[in-house]
Amino acid sequence: MPEFLQYVITGLAVGMVYALIALGFALVWKSSSVANLALGQLVLISSWFTYGMLVQASLPYWLGLPLTILFALFLGWIIERFALRPLVAQPILSLITVTLGVAYFLEGVVSFIWPMSVAALPRIFPVEPVHIGPAVVSQEYIWAAVISLALFGLLSLFFRYHRMGVAMRATADDQLAVQACAIPVTSVFSTSWMFACVVAAIGGVLISCIGGITFGLVETGLKSFSVVILGGLNSFVGCIVAGPIIGLCENLGGGYLTPLIGPGIKDIIPFIIIIIVMFIKPYGLFGETRIERI
């Protein structure tokens, strides 16, 4: 029983981080309907950047972590400005493929600057594990869940009350009408990309506090696609609900199926969920079914 509780708690915590990364995807998708397949690589490169700041340049936390956020903002702006904006109004195939090209490029940059393929971040959170009932959970998980939840709260407040947040929701609703209201659509696009990169960076730092920095972070980013798919592409609520579900399935499945099926089953459970969702309810739990006209 203690192990069950442990799987549940770690699963929920990891799931919250997945949900956070997925939120970044949903943001870009909602405002500009670009599917950002470079999510995994964004997570990877910003984790490595944090490593570079905190360990290689040995900056203190109060300087290193804000620099990571700045870097993510800059990265988002660059990607939107030079890869996505020239392709406005192109077919969706090009939009997806261009993010693949960006992904490939970022992976190259990572192995260019940080050729060692494994590293560990310094311990940002306290070391002592927490006892919740019979389960023993290390503090990273708790902090990851708390920080993700707090960011969710902040972002939803932003969307509700801030001018830019309202503009982003409006752009998601109807681009033409928004342009007619003199809202600069291009700056909405680049803001959404910057936000997406920031949440990917924070998610990446949280995940690599738990599991270290490896190329597996790309898979972490890809796993959050299963959150997006399960929750429904254009739904923030879907992300929050589906994230913990995916985390739970992954950890419980990994815990109980590994003796039955073999090691590594944990890593493909999210992908199996994607396939199952695709067969049963392709638009996810909260996504709206697209109605098309010819």
Partner 1 sequence: MDLPCGTRNYDYAKDMAILRTRTHWALFIGLLVIVFTAPLYLGNYWLGVANLIGITIIAVTGLNILMGYCGQLSIGHAGFIAVGAYTAAILTSKLGFPFLAGLICSGFTAGFIGLIFGIPSVRVKGFYLAITTIAAQFIIIWIINHWAGVTGGFVGISVPYASIGGLSFKDEASQFYLIMVITAVCILFAKNLARGRVGRAFIAIRDNDLAAEVMGVNLLHYKLLAFFIGCFLAGIAGSLFAHWIGFLSAENFTLTDSILYVGMVVIGGLGTTLGPILGVIFIRLLQQGIMYISPVLENAFPGLPAGFATGVGPMVFGLVIVLFLVLEPRGLAHRWGLFKSAYRLWPFSY
Residues in contact with partner 1 by the rule CB under 8 A: 29, 35, 37, 82-83, 86-87, 90, 92-94, 96-98, 100-115, 218-219, 222, 225-226, 228-229, 233, 261-265, 267-268, 271-272, 274-275, 278-279, 282-283, 292-294
The string of DSSP letters for 205-238 reads HHHHHHH-BSTHHHHHHHHHHHHHHHH-TT-HHH
CA neighbours within 13 Å on the CB side: how many for 56? 11
In the complex, what is the shortest distance from the CB of residue 270 to partner 1, in angstroms, rounded to a whole number? 8
How many DSSP H helices and E strands does the chain contain? 11, 2
In the complex, what is the shortest distance from the CB of residue 226 to partner 1, in angstroms, rounded to a whole number? 8
In the complex, what is the shortest distance from the CB of residue 164 to partner 1, in angstroms, rounded to a whole number? 25
How far is the C-alpha of 31 from the C-alpha of 26, rounded, in Å?
A: 8
Question: How would you class 86 by CB atoms within 10 Å of its CB: exposed for 0-12, middle for 13-18, buried for 19 or more?
Answer: exposed
Task: Tally Cβ neighbours within 10 Å of residue 263.
Answer: 9
How far is the C-alpha of 292 from the C-alpha of 285, rounded, in Å?
A: 20
In the complex, what is the shortest distance from the CB of residue 94 to partner 1, in angstroms, rounded to a whole number? 5
Quick one: 126 or 211, whose CB is closer to partner 1? Answer: 211
**Would you state the structure tokens that stand for residue 62, as one six-digit string?**
């109060």
**Would you state the structure tokens that stand for residue 85, as one six-digit string?**
């904006």
Quick one: 135 or 218, whose CB is closer to partner 1? Answer: 218
How far is the C-alpha of 98 from the C-alpha of 84, rounded, in Å?
A: 7
In the complex, what is the shortest distance from the CB of residue 219 to partner 1, in angstroms, rounded to a whole number? 8
For the chain, how big is the Rg over CA atoms in Å?
19
Quick one: 49 or 141, whose CB is closer to partner 1? Answer: 49
In the complex, what is the shortest distance from the CB of residue 8 to partner 1, in angstroms, rounded to a whole number? 24
Quick one: 96 or 237, whose CB is closer to partner 1? Answer: 96
In the complex, what is the shortest distance from the CB of residue 150 to partner 1, in angstroms, rounded to a whole number? 28
Quick one: 149 or 268, whose CB is closer to partner 1? Answer: 268
Quick one: 183 or 200, whose CB is closer to partner 1? Answer: 200
In the complex, what is the shortest distance from the CB of residue 158 to partner 1, in angstroms, rounded to a whole number? 25
CA quadruple 59, 77, 170, 277: dihedral positive or negative? Answer: negative
Quick one: 209 or 230, whose CB is closer to partner 1? Answer: 230
Quick one: 125 or 283, whose CB is closer to partner 1? Answer: 283
Could you give the maximum distance between any two Cα atoms of the chain, in Å? 60
Task: Tally Cβ neighbours within 10 Å of residue 88.
Answer: 12
CA neighbours within 13 Å on the CB side: how many for 231? 28
